[in-house]
A and B are shown apart, each in its own frame.
Chain A
Amino acid sequence: MAVEKMSIAKALNESLRKALEQDPKVLIMGEDVGKLGGVFRITDGLQKDFGEERVIDTPLAESGIVGTAIGLALRGYRPVVEIQFDGFVFPAYDQIVTQLAKMHARALGKVKMPVVVRIPYAGGIGAVEHHSESPEALFAHVPGLKVVSPSNASDAYWMLQQAILSDDPVIFFEPKRRYWDKGEVDTDAIPGELHKARVAREGSDITLAAYGPMVKVCLEAAAAAAEEGKSVEVVDLRSMSPIDFDGLQVSVEKTRRLVVVHEAPVFLGTGAEIAARITERCFYHLEAPVLRVGGFHAPYPPARLEDEYLPGLDRVLDAVDRSLAY
């Protein structure tokens, strides 16, 4: 029995360690991932144990990191690359969108792209510009990519395992402000399905759907709502591409109300797609339009404003009240 209480950061570190142990083709690449162990220490100690040939400090060039990872994948390796912060992924966006995502289709299936791009994302850490963004929709919109984000230590551990085992490119968004949140991790457990949602809290009056850093906020909102006699169900989507609409549909048909919560701007975001598809699937079950809580159509604000900008307990509960008022 290997159940241990650990932080999300530690769970990711243990997960990478296990992947490196299990498959000699797994490589870790990125800026400062070697001696330093990454700016968030997610790769702490891995270069010491697995060597510079497998845990590779790269030049400061994100397109180069992803572009060479593609070449290594073509050679039979399984690179796990780290983009240091969300806002720094864009130099690599071309390689991700035009090459990584399309290579398998371009080759009519004769080439596979088992590349994981890890990105610490979202806000709440008081950072400077470009260190707090949530660009997941920009990747979920791209056919050929899979996009996931864990919300807790256990999921972080096994979802990263599954992402590395995937023969498709996976964009792995890590909720950086939750890195130090602890939870129980069973390192021997049989992993679940990477793209299956889970019910994080059962309820009967309304469903909150979220992923990554917002799951915790939704669980807190559900607890607060319970004190007011409202039964809130929280669905942790885990995956933004594909989205487990079947799982979400079950919840919405039960509660008949849905609020989607994410940090990313609401406009054309993940919530917009969920609202459209759940409306199509559950039209006759819905008692209220699907509501969304998320970022505004404005650049991520300076740190002194982020507490107001980020969806918190009150904004989520406000949306719950508006939905229930229909």
Chain B
Amino acid sequence: MTVESTAARKPRRSGGTKRAAGAASAAKAPAAKAAATAQNAEPQLVQLLTPEGERVSAADNPDAAEFLSFVEDITTEDLRGLYRDMVLTRRFDGEATALQRQGELGLWASLLGQEAAQIGSGRALRDDDYVFPTYREHGVAWCRGVDPTNLLGMFRGVNHGGWDPNTNNFHLYTIVIGSQTLHATGYAMGVAKDGADSAVIAYFGDGASSQGDVAEAFTFSAVYNSPVVFFCQNNQWAISEPTERQMRVPLYQRAQGFGFPGVRVDGNDVLACLAVTRWALARARAGEGPTLVEAFTYRMGAHTTSDDPTKYRRDEETQAWEAKDPILRLKTYLLASGGADEAFFESLEAESEALGKRVREVVRAMPDPDTMAIFENVYADGHALVDEERAQFAAYLASFEEGH
């Protein structure tokens, strides 16, 4: 499959897969389980694929048992698909980091290490679901069929986003921390008013969990019973601040105080992220309201290309997380189980190279916007002052041209 064919998707709002809808009937049990677990001091962790690349059975992990039914349908081919998504996302991400180093981008926020959280949750969504990302959801964008090069405009400085959110039901990147959780909640309130069975997912991070807007989003979604999933990627670091500066109890447990279930999932386990997100989405569709998913993961790279993590965290910590790499564990499993052969990996490597090449070419060819674009789209219905200033600035610029 080529990158282009991934980006070209079906028309939206065509209804979802039977899988997720069928799973709705099983939605209740884990909810009760999660609520019961929330009081325990020992944090739960839903894991279906170990860092060593072994599938977890119900007997192995009671926390995981109730989520296994949500990925019963996943075939070996599906697993290869998830692997491919993660590899290509990581490649795109690495390419963007390199392009920043080359001066082609002003900044890049890498998702390195968070591929499983994003691909697992992103692939749990139906076309008619709606995503509210932060500025790091490149893997989710990939799952939605957003052309990855669309994400680069804002980092190159040619726009502030600019894609049509309704094309892929993927909202614009939101830079102010936590704001989008309220937009997601409002959107979900609208979905419920429309009587639709779509769900909404709001991404945010451990740092954002301290924002008032996130608390308000929890309150609004709880009291209106809105079909929204709050998907927190706890990557352990908010720039230089560890989670100890954001919370005193495991984040997922916070949901209980708002009156909805919270679950901590191994954020480096793509299968577990898929299962838990499907469960949470099924709850939303079944009218059971919001869910908090805490994907416990790690930001392997810097906060952005402007950051220097050596100033505040130890190499040993990063190395310990390298052993839990989301891509490596699935590769180990695919190889050991005979789910993929060398030809698959070689072909994926070639696809990965092609993606990198295309991203480089598109970014380098990305034109600067016309100067007068400053005045475009400030208002939908126009504004006298903008019109006046546009005319004045155009005349000013023209005065230089006339001088030639």
Which segment, of B239-247, B311-319, B380-388, faces chain A? B380-388
Which residue of the partner chain, among B159, B176, B191, B212, contacts A75 with CB atoms under 8 Å?
B191
Knowing A75-B187, A107-B164, A110-B164, the reply to whether A242 touches B384 (Cβ < 8 A) is yes
Contact call A91/B212, Cβ cutoff below 8 A = yes
Contact call B219/A59, Cβ cutoff below 8 A = yes
Contact call A98/B187, Cβ cutoff below 8 A = no
Task: Give every chain B residue within 8 A of A63 (Cβ-Cβ).
Answer: 182, 212-213, 216
Contact call A144/B219, Cβ cutoff below 8 A = no
Task: Give every chain B residue within 8 A of A146 (Cβ-Cβ).
Answer: 379, 383
A167 CA to B377 CA, complexed, in Å = 12
Contact call A166/B381, Cβ cutoff below 8 A = yes
Contact call A71/B188, Cβ cutoff below 8 A = yes
Contact call A71/B378, Cβ cutoff below 8 A = no
Least CB distance from B40 to A in Å reads 29
Contact call A107/B182, Cβ cutoff below 8 A = no
* Binary B-proximity of A52-87 (CB < 8 A = 1, otherwise 0): 010000110101101111111111110000000000
Judge if A297 is at the interface, Cβ distance under 8 Å.
Answer: no
Judge if A318 is at the interface, Cβ distance under 8 Å.
Answer: no
Q: Which residue on A lies nearest to B175, using beta carbons?
A: A98
Interface residues on A, range: 35 or more
Task: Give every chain A residue within 8 A of B377 (Cβ-Cβ).
Answer: 104-105, 107-109
A75 CA to B171 CA, complexed, in Å = 11
Contact call B171/A74, Cβ cutoff below 8 A = yes
* Binary B-proximity of A19-52 (CB < 8 A = 1, otherwise 0): 0000000000000000000000000000000000
* Binary A-proximity of B184-196 (CB < 8 A = 1, otherwise 0): 1111111101100
Contact call B183/A104, Cβ cutoff below 8 A = no
Task: Give every chain A residue within 8 A of B60 (Cβ-Cβ).
Answer: none
Least CB distance from B267 to A in Å reads 25
Residues of chain A at the chain B interface (Cβ within 8 Å):
53, 58-59, 61, 63-64, 66-77, 91, 94-95, 98-99, 102-113, 143-144, 146, 166-168, 195, 241-246
20 further contact pairs, Cβ within 8 A, besides A64-B217, A107-B164, A168-B381: A64-B219, A67-B186, A67-B213, A68-B186, A70-B182, A70-B186, A71-B187, A73-B186, A74-B190, A75-B186, A75-B190, A77-B190, A98-B176, A106-B161, A108-B161, A109-B376, A110-B164, A111-B165, A242-B383, A246-B384
